[in-house]
Amino acid sequence: MTKDPGTLLELFSSLFGGAPSHVARAPGRVNLIGEHIDYCDLAVLPMATQHEARLEFRPREDGVVRITNTDPEFDLVEFEIGPAIAPGPPGDWRNYLQAPANELARRFAIWRGVEGVLSSDVPVAAGLSSSTALLNAVGLALAHANEVTVDDAEFAGLMAGAEQYTGTRGGGMDQAISLGARAGHAARITFEPLRMRHVAVPEDWCFVVADTGVRAEKSGRAQTEYNQRRSECEEALDAVVQFALLHGRLPTTPGGYPDLLRMIGAAELMSWAEDVLQGRLLRRFRHVVSEAGRVEQAVDCLLNADLAGFGTLMDASHGSLHSDYQVSSRELDELVAIAREGGAAGARLTGAGFGGCIVALSDRGTVGAVLETLVEQYFEPRGIGHRIDDRLFVAVPSAGASVGILP
């Protein structure tokens, strides 16, 4: 963490008196492949990063939550726990604190609030799950203070539900990986029911993350576009299923994309889709089906340490996100091209897109050249070549969230 712990303790003591007794921490993540398909309940392959949100807190004897942030941009937030907390304006950071309190109170008789100071070094609005890290840290603190015991999968599901409070109709990938990641590993995550298969990242592999600097705020256009993509996927699925049922091509109604893919297989499904869908919906459907296939191949590449194969899949994923899903941008495309020119085995946008970051794969031998090329061709021309630590880094596959007593 970059924050000075002295400052954090002083801040805590000046606001609440005394010192925090506990800490809850939750990391951000970088998604390696499987983009915009978690909300279709299809498998994804993210890993947690070294950046995290950290809440140093003390349980209270009443239902009040009081949390401030070491970043002066964010005010002290105060509210009472309950199952119907009124949300603040879109984009207000209070929503990420209220969301887990609201969700936990809907499910459990929680009554004990917390007071604490939050700090985070997860880059904001960059597709690296800064919001989920925040939300998970607060959720864990409240669960701990109220002695809520649920298994990890259920808790991840609760936090995914909580995030909907903020207005984004997201999937469950970010909450699951931030809570359940294992150091040194990525995880193949499947949904309904939530399962995580941890897959070791080969020692020699380096996932470089580079930030366009264009914020993809989930309270503005990015949120509208994101929610629209999800609706389009639902619409496309519905049209294909109705068509197949009408023509007697399906014995039963499938429960969703995973079911349909299991019943029919990708190739036949795409040939049906071409009969039923056109334009935008056909493109969205093709991205979802093709990306689901790439995730399975990517898991095999990871298991076999096939760096070139994994890189090729990342390139194909980016192409699909650019052309079929239309969530890339000029800056993202530029960073992807530069990373490849610098010697990366493959590169793609990561997270929701519309700005934010790319992820590029290289080995230890070439990572220096990839980083240098990105600095020379993207960051230096923009006059930011000298302060790019949080804009350009090699992601460390890190452990998931934890909560405990401070020494």
Task: Establish whether 75 is a catalytic residue.
Answer: no
C-beta separation of 247 from 218 below 8 A: no
Site for ligand NG1 contains 170 (CB under 6 A): yes
The single residue among 352, 358, 359, 403 that binds ligand NG1, judged by CB under 6 A, is 352
Site for ligand NG1 contains 100 (CB under 6 A): no
| Shortest CB 31 distance to ligand NG1, Å | 6
User: d(Cα 187, Cα 201) in Å, to the nearest integer?
Assistant: 10
Site string for ligand NG1, 59-98 (x = CB under 6 A): ----------------------------------------
C-beta separation of 53 from 402 below 8 A: no
Structure tokens at 258: 């995973």
The residue written with tokens 């007071």 in the block is 115
Site string for ligand NG1, 30-59 (x = CB under 6 A): -x---xx-xx--------------------
Which 8-state DSSP code applies to residue 379?
I
User: Within 10 A of 362 (CB to CB), how many other CB atoms are there?
Assistant: 26
C-beta separation of 36 from 352 below 8 A: yes
- Which one of the spans 4-12, 29-37, 99-107, 281-289 is the region binding ligand NG1 (CB under 6 A)? 29-37
Site string for ligand NG1, 111-150 (x = CB under 6 A): ----------------x-x-xx------------------
H/E stretch holding 63: none
Site for ligand NG1 contains 211 (CB under 6 A): no
Identity of the residue, 70 or 130, whose beta carbon is nearer to ligand NG1 in the bound complex: 130
C-beta separation of 47 from 200 below 8 A: no
SS3 344: coil
Residue numbers 174-193 binding ligand NG1 by CB under 6 A: 174
Q: Which residues pair with 360 in a beta bridge?
A: 208, 347
Identity of the residue, 219 or 297, whose beta carbon is nearer to ligand NG1 in the bound complex: 219
Of 299, 34, 71, 324, give the one whose Cα is nearest residue 176. Answer: 34
C-beta separation of 392 from 9 below 8 A: no
Instruction: Please work out the total of residues on this chain that contact ligand NG1, with binding judged by CB under 6 A.
Output: 18
For the annotated catalytic residues, the residue numbers are 174
Residues that bind ligand NG1 (CB under 6 A): 31, 35-36, 38-39, 127, 129, 131-132, 163, 168, 170-171, 173-174, 218, 351-352
